[in-house]
Structure 1
């Protein structure tokens, strides 16, 4: 039986359509499977990214952390606790909020005595009170189980008592045992026992780039944690912009704001390596801390005697650079020939150094047989000494070496 040309064309189209339909169905099936497969793996990738984000950014809640009998920290999910969280859980309970209230003389008080004001308010009325109340908030941390606390001097200055609040909510009236404005360290005592306390570390061998963790109450936000690195060490008071202080500061990029003052700066182990101090209102991305060795030494003196005594060298020095050499040579009409050491620029009032024979323009090359290359080294040597210690100072004066003896005096109190 023969088919017409039209029937042949119809059969060919039908065959093609069936084949195309089979191909289309196969493509749909493959595409659906691939979609489900890719969806499954994409979801897993997104989920793992979220977990990674939680590890690097979020601190764990207390429900995620369990404490073993030996005091170590275990995690319900180990990926959610990093060294920062571990350090914070370890030290956090020993960090306190300090609320200080002080009476300050009102600078506008005398204006109220002006007859013009009295004409409006009456002679018996006092429109401007003689004193005003200032309130401030800072941080501190517990040094001993029996209630010895360390904070910044500027947090508790001009007040005898403060309100101390622990992380667990307990509050105590704290007695300001002593204040040392030279180092900005203060000692506070509260009547309590078996308190959590911090572990003190070592700031002497810090290297820029190491982790730094700050805990405190910035801007009234309790128990705030910030993380950064050690940006620099041995920053002199002059470099930081507080020449009246006697501290070789630790510089960090961990955020330190008003209210952080007096709180601890920690290393990766959760040990205190410094005392945070918000001393530069214009600092952005920079914070400074008092080395824990200096702060602990001063705090111990304050708890023991109520005051701190500081050795006094009384020499203003500058690092030896070509520019400094030329400038000092012109100012003092001398010829500085040495390229190593620090240059004596001037002396503080009542300094013990001039009596030993030191002169402006002398290049200090060694102190007690230790080579001197920077002014920061001189300050650290003085800070680690005691009143009455004798420095053997080797200087280069006009190309000739001289050895002088300087007895450290007591830093003059204001």
Structure 2
């Protein structure tokens, strides 16, 4: 807890193809600022000022300045001067610090080769203590003490302490963790607690404001601001193929200790859980969309575990180049007549895909009448389904189209990382 790390790393390896472990709430695949350029000219500077004013959520009027031949903003103050202050005052009391301790060697197996400082954990030190300690963030979602955070913050912990903004320290217990989506719920015994307001992450647009609150490097209730840089970043895009999340990308600064804290919109509503950055890059932070996290949290609160739909195939996006290579080198008597879709590379024996009749060499063209062009499309569609959902697949096999029905199963525990 005294050692402060300055970077938060992601160090997962990404294979060429991956085993598709398709899920509903979580999805599945295994094995596959606006930059304002300003000049010294008054005209360009004025245009920039007007552009910024037009995008600001503050109410703004303009007055003409004859000396500069430009329109200048005249701001009408809002409560607390600006929307960032409003959002922070609204949410800040519900943001907590989570201190976790775990036995040496019990760190969760995230990414298999994840470096220590991703977790913000200290080693045992010179006294050879068998316990390592770390800190993260979280936010209160119910007045009776349910707290949402990242699984990697508390998974495997022997003790969990929650520090409220008012200084109270309360022992917490982990209701459940889900390594597939990196979501966890911690419970503290308290009442009438401040809570956050949850927003809607389904319709976020790049360019929207983003506000991060957390406890980076032990600096409680730190605030950073940026924008939503992108949405729907696949686990492969982020470099974590074993996670089943369409991540929100933001340039709001995220540092060790921010993990588990809220990402807010300009209205002070939680739209995501801050979870990771890419080492060596600037302005590349990632958050779990709150809609997905809330769905998982409900399962963790209710039964202590989450279910994820599962198909059980290895797959790869089919391209003209791949088609040509496969037709030249495929060791079976199969010729691919189409170069668009998702190629089934392997089917796990006994899996839902196997039971549904899929075979290696099949090319998925449509799922539930939605055209499939990339492997990510399959992930996004299926991770919106629940266990037991019936999927209608249109598959090209040896030049002919066939229709299959595949009912999703529950992701086996051995495949959850």
Q: Is TM-score (shorter-chain normalized) higher than 0.5?
A: yes
Structure 2 SS opposite 1:388: coil
Name the counterpart of 1:407. 407
Name the counterpart of 1:185. 183
Name the counterpart of 1:99. 99
How much does 1:131 deviate? Answer: 5.9
Name the counterpart of 1:295. 293
Task: Identify if the C-alpha distance between structure 1 residues 173 and 321 changes in structure 2 by more than 3 Å, giving closer, same or farther.
Answer: same
Name the counterpart of 1:33. none
Structure 2 SS opposite 1:299: helix
Return the alpha-carbon distance in structure 2 between the equivalents of residues 287 and 148 of structure 1.
25
Q: Is the Cα contact below 8 Å between 1:150 and 1:299 reproduced in 2?
A: yes
Return the alpha-carbon distance in structure 1 between the equivalents of residues 245 and 132 of structure 2.
27
Give the alignment of 1:78-157 within 5 angstroms. 78=78, 81-105=81-105, 132-157=130-155
Return the alpha-carbon distance in structure 2 between the equivalents of residues 134 and 406 of structure 1.
45
How much does 1:192 deviate? Answer: 1.0
Structure 2 SS opposite 1:134: strand
Return the alpha-carbon distance in structure 2 between the equivalents of residues 88 and 350 of structure 1.
51
Spell out, residue by residue over 1:42-75, the C-alpha distance to the aligned partner (whole angstroms, 9 max, x if none).
xxxxxxx9xx9xxx9xxxxxxxxxxxxxxxxxx9
Q: Is the Cα contact below 8 Å between 2:344 and 2:363 reproduced in 1?
A: yes
Give the alignment of 1:316-327 within 5 angstroms. 316-327=314-325
Spell out, residue by residue over 1:316-340, the C-alpha distance to the aligned partner (whole angstroms, 9 max, x if none).
3333433333344444654433354
Task: Identify if the C-alpha distance between structure 1 residues 369 and 227 changes in structure 2 by more than 3 Å, giving closer, same or farther.
Answer: same
Task: Identify if the C-alpha distance between structure 1 residues 81 and 279 changes in structure 2 by more than 3 Å, giving closer, same or farther.
Answer: same
Name the counterpart of 1:20. none
Spell out, residue by residue over 1:341-387, the C-alpha distance to the aligned partner (whole angstroms, 9 max, x if none).
33323345753213322233322222122232332232222222222
Q: Structure 2 unaligned segments of length 5 or more: list them.
A: 1-48, 57-74, 107-125
Return 130-139 or 298-307, whichever deviates more: 130-139
- Higher alpha-carbon Rg: 1
Q: Is the Cα contact below 8 Å between 1:234 and 1:376 reproduced in 2?
A: no
Name the counterpart of 1:367. 367
How much does 1:399 deviate? Answer: 3.0
Spell out, residue by residue over 1:234-254, the C-alpha distance to the aligned partner (whole angstroms, 9 max, x if none).
222222222222222122222
- Normalized per residue, the structure richer in helix is 1
How much does 1:296 deviate? Answer: 0.9
TM-score (normalised: structure 1) = 0.71
How much does 1:85 deviate? Answer: 2.0
Return the alpha-carbon distance in structure 2 between the equivalents of residues 324 and 401 of structure 1.
20
Task: Identify if the C-alpha distance between structure 1 residues 238 and 331 changes in structure 2 by more than 3 Å, giving closer, same or farther.
Answer: farther
Q: Is the Cα contact below 8 Å between 1:328 and 1:361 reproduced in 2?
A: no
Return the alpha-carbon distance in structure 2 between the equivalents of residues 142 and 353 of structure 1.
40
Task: Identify if the C-alpha distance between structure 1 residues 390 and 281 changes in structure 2 by more than 3 Å, giving closer, same or farther.
Answer: same
Task: Identify if the C-alpha distance between structure 1 residues 262 and 406 changes in structure 2 by more than 3 Å, giving closer, same or farther.
Answer: same
Q: Is the Cα contact below 8 Å between 1:176 and 1:186 reproduced in 2?
A: yes
Name the counterpart of 1:392. 392
| Aligned: 1:380 with 2:405 | no
Return the alpha-carbon distance in structure 2 between the equivalents of residues 306 and 331 of structure 1.
45
Name the counterpart of 1:353. 353
Structure 1 SS opposite 2:352: coil
Q: How many residues align?
A: 325
Give the alignment of 1:193-204 within 5 angstroms. 193-204=191-202
Q: 1:277 aligns with which of 275, 278, 291?
A: 275
Name the counterpart of 1:22. none
Name the counterpart of 2:256. 258
Task: Identify if the C-alpha distance between structure 1 residues 217 and 77 changes in structure 2 by more than 3 Å, giving closer, same or farther.
Answer: same
Q: Say what the alpha-carbon RMSD is for the aligned residues.
A: 3.0
Higher relative contact order (CA 8 A, sep 6+): 2
Q: 2:213 aligns with which of 215, 218, 229?
A: 215
How much does 1:223 deviate? Answer: 1.0
Name the counterpart of 2:32. none
Return the alpha-carbon distance in structure 2 between the equivalents of residues 261 and 253 of structure 1.
15
Q: Is the Cα contact below 8 Å between 1:102 and 1:134 reproduced in 2?
A: yes
Q: 2:157 aligns with which of 156, 159, 162?
A: 159
Name the counterpart of 1:114. none
